[in-house]
Chains A and B, each alone.
Chain A
Amino acid sequence: MRRTMAKASFHTALNLLFFALIGTSLLAFTYNLTHDQIARSEEAEKLKLISQIVPHELFDNDIIKDTLDIAPDALLGSNSSTTAYRARLQGQPSALVLEAVAPDGYSGKIALLVAIRDNGEIAGVRVVAHRETPGLGDYIEIAKSNWIKGFDGISQARYTERDWKVKKDGGQFDYMAGATITPRAVVKAVHKTLQYFAQHRETLFARIEAPQVSATTASAKEHKK
Chain B
Amino acid sequence: MTSQEFKDIFYNGVWKQNTGVVQLLGLCPILAVSSSVVNAVSLGLATALVMTLSGAAIAPIRQVVPNEARIPVFILIIAVLVTIVQFVMHAYTHELYVVLGIFIPLIVTNCIVLARIEAFASKNPALESALDGLAMGLGLTAVLAVLGGIREIFGHGTLLTGIDMVFGEAAKSWVVTVVPNYHGFLLAILPPGAFITLGMLIAGKNWLNLRAEQKLKGSSATITPVQGGCSPAAHG
Please list the residues of chain A having a beta carbon within 8 angstroms of any beta carbon in chain B: 8, 11-12, 15-16, 19-20, 23, 26-27, 30-31, 33-34, 37-38, 41-42, 44-45, 133-136
Classify chain B's interface size.
Answer: 20 to 34
Q: Which of B83, B91, B189 has the most CB of A within 10 A?
A: B91
Q: What CA separation (Å) do A133 and B189 show in the bound complex?
A: 10
Asked if A42 meets B94 with Cβ closer than 8 Å, knowing A8-B66, A15-B66, A15-B69, the reply is yes
**Segment with Cβ contacts to A, from B20-28, B72-80, B205-213, B225-233:** B72-80
Interface residues of B (CB under 8 A from A): 35, 64-66, 68-69, 72-73, 76-77, 79-80, 83-84, 87-88, 90-92, 94-95, 98, 155, 184, 186, 189-190
Least CB distance, A36 to chain B, in whole angstroms: 8
Q: Given contacts A8-B66, A30-B83, A135-B186, list 7 more A-B pairs with CB under 8 A.
A: A20-B76, A23-B80, A30-B84, A38-B91, A45-B95, A134-B186, A134-B190
B contact residues around A38 at 8 Å (CB) = 87, 90-91, 94
Are A30 and B69 in contact, CB atoms less than 8 angstroms apart? no
Q: Kindly list chain B residues whose C-beta atoms are within 8 Å of the C-beta of A27.
A: 80, 83-84
Give the shortest distance, in Å, between A163 (CB) and chain B (any CB).
31
**14 interchain pairs, CB-CB under 8 A:** A19-B77, A20-B76, A23-B76, A23-B79, A27-B84, A30-B88, A34-B87, A41-B92, A42-B94, A44-B94, A45-B94, A45-B95, A134-B35, A134-B190
Determine if A134 and B189 form an interchain contact, defined as CB atoms under 8 angstroms apart: yes
Q: Is B87 within 8 A of A136, CB to CB?
A: no
A133 near B94 with CB under 8 A, answer no
Q: How far is the CB of B154 from chain A (nearest CB, A)?
A: 12
Q: How far is the CA of A133 from the CA of B190 in the complex (A)?
A: 9
Contacts of A30 in B (CB 8 A): 83-84, 87-88
Min distance, Cβ B73 to any Cβ of chain A, angstroms: 5
Assess the B72–A37 pair: CB atoms within 8 A: no
Q: How far is the CB of B59 from chain A (nearest CB, A)?
A: 15
Query: Which residues of A are found within 8 Å of B189, using beta-carbon distances?
Result: 134-135
Contacts A19-B77, A23-B76, A136-B186 given; indicate if A12 touches B90 (C-beta within 8 A): no
Out of A11, A41, A44, name the residue touching B90 (CB < 8 Å): A41
CA separation between A30 and B80, bound complex, in Å?
Answer: 10
Chain B residues contacting A34 (CB-CB under 8 Å) are 87-88, 90-91
CB neighbours (8 Å) of B35 from chain A are 134
The chain A residue sitting closest to B188, CB to CB, is: A135
Closest to B185 in A: A135
- Please, which residues of chain B bring their CB within 8 A of the CB of A136? 186
Neighbouring A residues of B88 by C-beta, 8 Å: 30, 34
CA distance A16 to B76 in the complex (A): 9
Which residues of the partner chain A approach B184 to less than 8 Å between Cβ atoms? 135
- Looking at the complex, which one of A11, A12, A15, A37 makes contact with B92 (CB distance below 8 Å)? A37
Across-interface contacts of B84 in A (CB, < 8 A):
26-27, 30
Smallest beta-carbon distance A52→chain B, Å: 14
In the assembled complex, the Cα of A45 lies from the Cα of B91 at a distance in Å of 12
CA gap between A33 and B84 in the complex, in Å = 10
